Structure 1
């Protein structure tokens, strides 16, 4: 089987989801619990107590309490980013056990189909589970607020706040943020394919060590005669808006980043095709 067959791919995807559904349900429960406890922290333990808000701002209680809700939504965004990296690094976590590894590698589908299935689950299913956990946690927090006599403010509408800010910013900045997020995702996906155990932890350690080493090396270089400014922003007092100027080096950096992204995904697939039942204890080589 050398060719990609869409019918066989669909059946294999359905089979993979059904076989691993218990793990996905458990992950959904853990994510919901974490975000629900975080919601309670931001609305009940952090900041000004609710009773003092009612006493100090009886007519503006909704505005002040909404700020606590916004903080819980910010945590939800951070947790979503971490969960996506966790999903990328753990897309082959089911291959730790030798028996499961043997069954997965002997699956009657091509390597490309297996890899695409793992990528789709690591991206879309993890994103769906995280979003569902956020909605459930927000609903539970609203239920607790209603049961304790607080005003009802949903956090779900605040999910559009960051995107409304990106909509009015230059497309270059939005594309830069997207590139940065995708770059980290590709790195964690490569680490998830390379490491056999503790993929998220080891990938994070490698990134940390590499960042510290690169910083130490760059600090040893004399940059006094070098100016590197990919873009700059100036605040226009007349329009009360930021005006950005993007230099050619900005687009060069974006192009290099996309080359690294493509290389990381390609290297991840090549490592997957070289996996064997008996590999190194810590590495999939």
Structure 2
């Protein structure tokens, strides 16, 4: 039976955030450093030279590169984030402490799952700081073509808003299914540091098998704003599979023991 008490969960959240503070700070600073170096080096063309007549085209490509990297990092965080739910724990002692906390298994699981939700706003803040840094650096260097990467990111989502509804539904369902797979992988594999890698390997095998059941022409139908029975069935199966993954992830978490095994079963 699932037990949830908001006051008890609040105390658990405070304990978890305090205990994992160094992990969150490290992740935020790492993202800030990577994005700042990427944005500054790419937009200032630190690693390349340009001809006089190719400045504008080169600057445009530079900001497009930063935009693609930002969107990719955002999507990767959302999809693979749950696989990091135990990454902040340092050895058996932290796991033993977690298992002995005065809270229900569901509350403990929910707090560990929320690790990526805490990281998301930290990564977002790191992005804005890196974007502001590259903007100021380019202004100080006297570059003519200067803008915020955030503007390009907004333009991408505005342009993609015209995609067919059928395609948006399929993208959301597929993303939700992938997210659930990494949620399951985060609790299934005991090697928390490499859980996302092991889950990715398993997904590659599953995706190859799944794609073999559908022809290339079937995938082309996604471009049309037409709901077909085939895609409805596929979306339903994916959603049901995602729910099953979340349930299995929770059940495995409830069976977790502080012993040396490759997987938590």
Q: Same fold (TM over 0.5)?
A: yes
Equivalent position to 2:92, from 89, 98, 121: 98
Q: 2:167·2:225 contact (CA, 8 Å) conserved in 1? A: no
Distance in 2, Cα, partners of 1:65 & 1:95: 43
Distance 1:248 1:211 in 2: 21
Aligned to 1:84: 78
CA distance in 2, matches of 1:70, 1:260: 36
1:195, 1:283 within 8 Å by CA — same for their partners in 2?
A: yes
Are residues 1:20 and 2:9 paired?
Answer: no
The SS at the match of 2:114 is helix
Relative to 1, partners in 2 of residues 1:67 and 1:209: Cα closer, same or farther, differing over 3 Å?
A: same
Q: Does 1:204 align with 2:200?
A: yes
CA distance in structure 2 between the aligned counterparts of 1:243 and 1:215, rounded to whole angstroms: 22
- Count of residues paired in the alignment: 262
Determine the C-alpha separation between the residues in 1 that align with 2:216 and 2:61.
41
Query: Whole-Å Cα distance in 2 between the matches of residues 227 and 195 of structure 1?
Result: 34
**1:102-141 matched pairs, under 5 angstroms:** 102-122=96-116, 124-141=117-134
- Aligned twin of 2:139: 146
How big is each residue's C-alpha offset from its partner over 1:207-260, in whole Å with a ceiling of 9 and x where there is no partner?
234445x279x49xxx9xx89737627xxxxxxxx8533321111111111011
Kindly report the root-mean-square deviation, in angstroms, between the aligned alpha carbons of the 2 structures.
2.9
Query: What is the Cα deviation at residue 112 of structure 1?
Result: 0.5
Structure with the larger RCO, 1 or 2 (CA within 8 Å, 6+ apart): 2
Judge conservation of contact 1:66–1:153 (CA < 8 Å) in 2.
no
1:42 counterpart = 2:34: no
Rounded to whole Å, the distance in 1 between the matches of 2:210 and 2:41 is 36
For 1:75, the equivalent position in structure 2 comes to 69
**CA apart distance, 1:194:** 0.6
Deviation at 1:45, TM superposition (A): 4.0
Aligned-partner Cα distance in 1 for 2:30–2:112: 21
Report the CA distance shift for 1:68/1:4 in structure 2 as closer, same or farther (over 3 A). Answer: same
Q: Distance in 1 between matches of 2:58 and 2:90?
A: 49
Question: Unaligned regions of 5+ residues in structure 1, if any?
Answer: 234-241
**Structure 1 CA distance for aligned equivalents of residues 200 and 216 of structure 2:** 31
Counterpart Cα distance in 2 of 1:97 and 1:111: 20
Cα distance in 2 for residues equivalent to 1:4 and 1:192: 22
For the 8 Å contact 2:187–2:249, the answer to whether it is kept is yes
Q: CA deviation at 1:86?
A: 4.2
- Are 2:251 and 1:254 equivalent residues in the alignment? no
User: Unaligned stretches of 5+ in structure 2?
Assistant: none
SS in 1 for 2:218: coil
Measured in 1, the distance between the counterparts of 2:76 and 2:2 equals 35
Q: Secondary structure at the match of 1:284?
A: coil
Shift of 1:46: 8.4
Residue matched to 2:53? 56
- Output the CA distance in 2 between the equivalents of 1:46 and 1:244: 44
- Name whichever structure is richer in helix by fraction: 2
Secondary structure of the residue that 2:121 maps to in structure 1?
helix
Give the 3-state SS of the residue equivalent to 2:68 in structure 1: helix
Which structure's residues are more often strand, by fraction? Answer: 1
